[in-house]
Chain A
Amino acid sequence: MRIIENNIIKEKLYLEELENGLKVMIIPKKGTNKKMAIIGTKFGSIDNHFINPKTKEEVIIPDGVAHFLEHKMFEQSDGTNSLDTLTAMGVEANAYTTNDHTAYYFEAVDNFEPAFKELLNYVFNPYYTDQNVEKEKGIIDQEIGMYDDDAISKVFYNALECMYEKCPVRIDVAGTVESVDKINKDILYNCYNTFYNPSNMILSVCGDFEPDYIINLIKTNMKKIEKLDKIERIYPEEPEKIYNAYKEEKMDVSIPTFVIGIKDKVEKENIIKKELILNILLNYILDENSKLYKELYDEGLLISEPDLEYEYSDIYSHMMIFSYSKDPKKVFEKVKEEIRLLKDNGLEEKVFNRVKNKIYGRLITSYNSPAQVGRIFMRDYMNNIISFDYLNEWNNINIEDANKELKDRFIEDKMILSIVNPK
């Protein structure tokens, strides 16, 4: 077992790869009663075209399969439902699907051990029938319907559709009512057998326990699964330029919502540093302390601090600024203008340091709850990152690098605007 210790946050990570390829991360947290376990597979909505590593067949699947699989993992062949079983143990269990991964988790105060065994059992024992697959379609249709009425979800998807022409990140995680209708049990098994191999998965555990105890629990409770080769995923070639600069839609809301998207190059090197700098820059430009926010607030163009996000995977990389405004187009112009000014004049040292401190505080705060810690470590490791490295790298961030990234990444031709207007 590899032990990685961090002196800034005063926590340790125990890391082990099992024979079947499963990567296990254990972050002990003394003195807490809460425990959490999360198991993630690198299978999200973007993985819709791949080569089955066993049959070597090329497979193209309908939109929404990863999410559908997540819904169907809980049902067991003996007629039980693991979500019910876990709920009955008094633990909070759930699952989610994103663009690039799917995860199953639970949080417990009591009954950690039986819940952990149940997790290891249901995630590795699929049970799909024609009947239980059909039944799920009505439920998922209502989930899609819920998001159809949600302006926030709409404005984000429209932003992705603007930035990307071909990349499957532009597809809704849940798919559409039509694509979901095409899903059947054979498709589910094919995807399950490909992506739910332990070699494509990470298990992360956080709570007050000894690492050996966890490793033993896994070894004695996980069924034997043969390690598969690396999965070959086929993604369309995405042009560097944006697809559409603007998209507008009308819904029954009180005030327009908007997303400003900035498309970025996909890179594999120095990701941590890049992510920290981009977050600093986004906050520098438009967080609640920024000069621009003050100006927009005073003019009534913004009423609350925008959400600022940088997101990336192996095939996409972009920034998004989300908020509400009576005039999103004007906000967009002001943002572009501010970026031009900052590029010309360079960043101010004092402001830069203030934002840098703020990012540091956020990194520290994220270690408060076991639930958050477990999730963050799993998700970061999907991108081959050990979460501690954000804290380590923070010290090395300087204003020169930030000025350079500002010039390289915040390019006007790569910006889009998505708006949802009131009717």
Chain B
Amino acid sequence: MSYISKTIKKGITLHTIKTEKYKTNLIAVFLTFPIIKEEATKNTLIALMLKRGSKLYKTREDITNKLAEMYGASLDSGIEKSGDNHILKFYLESINEDYLPKKEELFKESINLLFDVVFNPNIEDNKFNEEFLKQEKYSLEQIINSKIDNKTMYALNRCIETMYEGKPYGIYKYGYVEDLKNIDAYNLYEQYKKIISTCKIDIFVSGKNDDIESIITENKEIKKLNEREPYFIKNGEPSNKNAERYVEEKMDVKQGKIVLGIDVINNEKDLRYSAQVYNAILGGTANSKLFQNVREKASLAYTISSSYMKLKSNIFIRAGIEIDNYEKALNIIKEQMEEMKQSNFSDKDIENAKRAIITNIKNIKEEQDIEISYYYGQELSDIKTSIEEYIQNIENVTRQDILDVANSVSINTIYFLRN
């Protein structure tokens, strides 16, 4: 396995992960730019419209038929928020040429198709196709409205929105229904031209072909792209000073969902590695304090966990509980946070937490999309860390470091979804 990152034009980076481990090649294009409330809906719509047709493959059917012929290659797109950036992600996975029933240049075809979709949209008379746009606006409206359908995710999103109200990270990544009416086929194309000529572009290829770089640099869509000073946000805005704000919302649910949004703030020390260990001990694994006390001892929950978001330095504790047990569950959660502060965790707990985190780090190299996400994360970060250094940084975390985290955490928001 080897990883090479190379600037092919200013602002456009090719990341090649050469590996023989998989039966497939995975190609990804990520477009990165700052998230802005007024533009979020438009940018999501662009991702949807690009999949509706390109210059060579005019309609969605042309694209999907081509994919099916390529032995069920799959084209996926995703809209993500990473820190204060908005990212449009496009993936094409196709099987490696070694496993085809007959010889074909499947890798090259995959590159050509994906780049045509992202960089060569179906534009006529300076606008996107009106009929497709009407359908995609309808589709996006459904996507935005479906926010309430998954209650667990909904509760988390609402907690984040409360913590970052009025700030970039509080923007819903799919945008807002009320913004749809002002979008037309012309201004959407204007927006496309703007982001495609200014955004940071990262192209990832994980697979075993020898000619990856030449196929990509020779591609005519890549040749057409301009150099750019890529504009994206490295360190975004912090959360609002909420000081344990309680937000309750009612829906017709049988189970209550509690989410605690926690800030980890320390201006003197870099806590990103120690916070991961703190989080793992508190609620990151089956050995954690929350899992053991809320679930195994008190039988209050089936799901209880905490997760650490590095880019925003937040921890989110989440549990699904009987609505009447809200106080009981909250008390145990707060007790366990206090235990952390009092240094009431064993050396074995620290060791276990590190093992769990290091396993996850080692897994990065075992799945194509996870490996791509890791190298992308490196791109957005000031400090480049190899996987070996990352592991070492976790190993180096001491009890004192964890206590520093415990003394730097404060509950920002408690969100409760109930009936």
B142 touches A109 (CB 8 A): no
- A368 in the interface, Cβ–Cβ < 8 Å? yes
B65 touches A354 (CB 8 A): yes
Which residues 39-87 of B sit at the A interface, judged by CB distance below 8 A? Answer: 60-61, 64-65, 67-73
Which residues of A have CB within 8 Å of B368? 368
Known contacts being A254-B149, A355-B68, A369-B367, is A146 close to B61, with CB within 8 Å?
A: no
- A221 in the interface, Cβ–Cβ < 8 Å? no
- B378 in the interface, Cβ–Cβ < 8 Å? no
User: Beta-carbon contacts of A99-137 to B below 8 Å, as 1s and 0s?
Assistant: 000000001111000000000000000000000000111
- Of the candidates A135, A142, A287, A355, the one whose C-beta lies within 8 Å of that of B302 is A142
- B4 in the interface, Cβ–Cβ < 8 Å? no
Q: How far is the CB of B395 from chain A (nearest CB, A)?
A: 12
Which residues of A have CB within 8 Å of B98? 10
Closest to A394 in B: B101
A254 touches B142 (CB 8 A): yes
B146 touches A255 (CB 8 A): yes
- A33 in the interface, Cβ–Cβ < 8 Å? yes
Give the docked Cα–Cα distance between A120 and B303 (Å).
27
A88 touches B135 (CB 8 A): no
Give the docked Cα–Cα distance between A357 and B303 (Å).
40
A294 touches B148 (CB 8 A): no
Which residues of B have CB within 8 Å of A294? 60-61
- Of the candidates B64, B147, B320, the one whose C-beta lies within 8 Å of that of A254 is B147
- A267 in the interface, Cβ–Cβ < 8 Å? no
Q: How far is the CB of B344 from chain A (nearest CB, A)?
A: 18
B23 touches A90 (CB 8 A): no
Which residues 265-305 of B sit at the A interface, judged by CB distance below 8 A? Answer: 285-287, 295-296, 298-303
- B255 in the interface, Cβ–Cβ < 8 Å? yes
Closest to B349 in A: A88
B299 touches A137 (CB 8 A): yes
Which residues of A have CB within 8 Å of B322? 141-142, 145
Which residues 254-270 of A sit at the B interface, judged by CB distance below 8 A? Answer: 254-255
User: Beta-carbon contacts of A362-384 to B below 8 Å, as 1s and 0s?
Assistant: 10110111000000000000000
Which residues of B have CB within 8 Å of A137? 299
- A253 in the interface, Cβ–Cβ < 8 Å? yes
Known contacts being A139-B295, A142-B320, is A423 close to B362, with CB within 8 Å?
A: no
User: Contacting chain B: which of A20-28, A295-303, A307-315?
Assistant: A295-303
- Of the candidates B61, B101, B145, B359, the one whose C-beta lies within 8 Å of that of A91 is B359
A289 touches B302 (CB 8 A): no
Give the docked Cα–Cα distance between A110 and B354 (Å).
13
Give the docked Cα–Cα distance between A150 and B68 (Å).
32
- Of the candidates B22, B61, B139, B251, the one whose C-beta lies within 8 Å of that of A368 is B22
- B336 in the interface, Cβ–Cβ < 8 Å? no
- Of the candidates A34, A138, A252, the one whose C-beta lies within 8 Å of that of B366 is A34
Which residues of B have CB within 8 Å of A255? 142, 145-146, 149
A143 touches B302 (CB 8 A): yes
Which residues of B have CB within 8 Å of A354? 65, 68-69
User: Beta-carbon contacts of A72-109 to B below 8 Å, as 1s and 0s?
Assistant: 00000000010110011111110000000000000111
B101 touches A368 (CB 8 A): no
B302 touches A254 (CB 8 A): no
Q: How far is the CB of A419 from chain B (nearest CB, A)?
A: 14
B363 touches A34 (CB 8 A): yes
Which residues of B have CB within 8 Å of A91? 359
Known contacts being A33-B366, A142-B302, is A364 close to B64, with CB within 8 Å?
A: no
- Of the candidates A84, A135, A358, the one whose C-beta lies within 8 Å of that of B71 is A358
- Of the candidates B23, B299, B351, the one whose C-beta lies within 8 Å of that of A138 is B299
Give the docked Cα–Cα distance between A34 and B359 (Å).
10
Known contacts being A33-B366, A87-B285, is A140 close to B302, with CB within 8 Å?
A: yes
Known contacts being A9-B99, A253-B149, A354-B65, is A88 close to B255, with CB within 8 Å?
A: no
- A151 in the interface, Cβ–Cβ < 8 Å? yes
Which residues 229-286 of B sit at the A interface, judged by CB distance below 8 A? Answer: 251-255, 285-286
- A32 in the interface, Cβ–Cβ < 8 Å? yes
- Of the candidates A89, A151, A360, the one whose C-beta lies within 8 Å of that of B72 is A360
Which residues 308-339 of A sit at the B interface, judged by CB distance below 8 A? Answer: 324
B359 touches A109 (CB 8 A): yes
- Of the candidates A143, A252, A298, the one whose C-beta lies within 8 Å of that of B251 is A252
Give the docked Cα–Cα distance between A303 and B142 (Å).
8
Which residues of A have CB within 8 Å of B69? 354, 357
Which residues of B have CB within 8 Å of A110? 359, 362
Known contacts being A9-B23, A31-B21, A303-B142, is A145 close to B148, with CB within 8 Å?
A: no
Closest to A8 in B: B99
Known contacts being A142-B320, A142-B321, A148-B255, is A83 close to B286, with CB within 8 Å?
A: yes
A251 touches B286 (CB 8 A): no
- B399 in the interface, Cβ–Cβ < 8 Å? no
| Most chain B Cβ neighbours within 10 Å, of A91, A108, A145, A151 | A145
Which residues 329-370 of B sit at the A interface, judged by CB distance below 8 A? Answer: 348, 351-352, 355-356, 358-359, 362-363, 365-368
Which residues of B have CB within 8 Å of A400? none
**Sample (8) of A-B pairs whose CB atoms are under 8 Å apart:** A87-B287, A87-B352, A91-B359, A139-B295, A142-B301, A361-B71, A365-B93, A423-B252
Q: Which 4 A-B pairs have the closest CB atoms?
A: A138-B299, A361-B72, A358-B72, A90-B355
